[in-house]
Homo-oligomer: A and B are copies of this chain.
Amino acid sequence: MELTTAEENYLKAIYHLSEEGQKSVSTNDIASAIQTKPASVSDMLRKLGEKEVIQYRKYYGLQITPLGMRLALQTIRKHRLWEVFLVDKLHFAWDEVHEVAEQLEHIQSTLLVERLDAYLNYPKFDPHGDPIPDEFGDVRSRPRIALQEMGIDQSGQIVAVKDSSPAFLRYLDKVGAYIGARIKVLDKVEFDGSVEILVDQKKTIFMSKDVANNILILTS
């Protein structure tokens, strides 16, 4: 069973929107995630249903099937491995990789994926801190919470970002909030939800609720 590039992109979007296959997703959500019209989505859902990668009931949502899950995770695995390659080997910035990985993830060659994985030394996380599924689709995920959820004086380590848009990532670069940084919450403003944090015991940063919501922390 092989999927077209469009089908892979839809399935990946569905997987992400359903939060790793848990809840059901809406046609409109898929449309906006994938930058297309709801009518196109309806049509694709029918096709994906026929291919049995999702279970689709008209007007009610859809559920990704175990088969669909496996295929989605394969594509995600490739996407993230390529991102590691681009950053580690070709010295791309972490905000420059997404677009290219979006293309590279569709290259069909199991040998290529295996060799790439080995060449990169079997990385467990991509440049944005997202876990890389193994060849069987198993994801070893760490318990992580949004920086926004942390209380005053709580500390931890930045392990991932929710938003991978260049604008957001470049902002993080600017303020020095990189993956791996150790942080401690110094203060939280009730009024607007903004937070003040100490980074690596030396630098103090103020950030809005919006920003703090997109930074994921492994607490300690």
Contacts and interface: CB of A to CB of B under 8 A. Distances in A.
Interface of A: 86, 89-92, 96, 99-100, 103-104, 107-109, 111-112, 115-116, 119
A109 B119 contact: no
Contacts of A92: 111, 115
How many copies of this kind of chain does the complex include? 2
A64 B104 CA distance: 29
Contact of A107 (B90, B91, B103): B103
B103 A108 contact: yes
Contact of A100 (B91, B99, B112): B112
Given A90-B112, A100-B111, A103-B107, 13 more contacts: A89-B119, A90-B115, A90-B116, A90-B119, A92-B111, A92-B115, A96-B111, A99-B109, A100-B112, A103-B108, A103-B109, A104-B104, A104-B107
A91 B103 contact: no
Nearest to A104: B107
Contacts of A91: 115
The 4 residue pairs across chains A and B that have the minimum distance between CB atoms = A90-B115, A100-B109, A103-B107, A100-B112
A203 B103 CA distance: 46
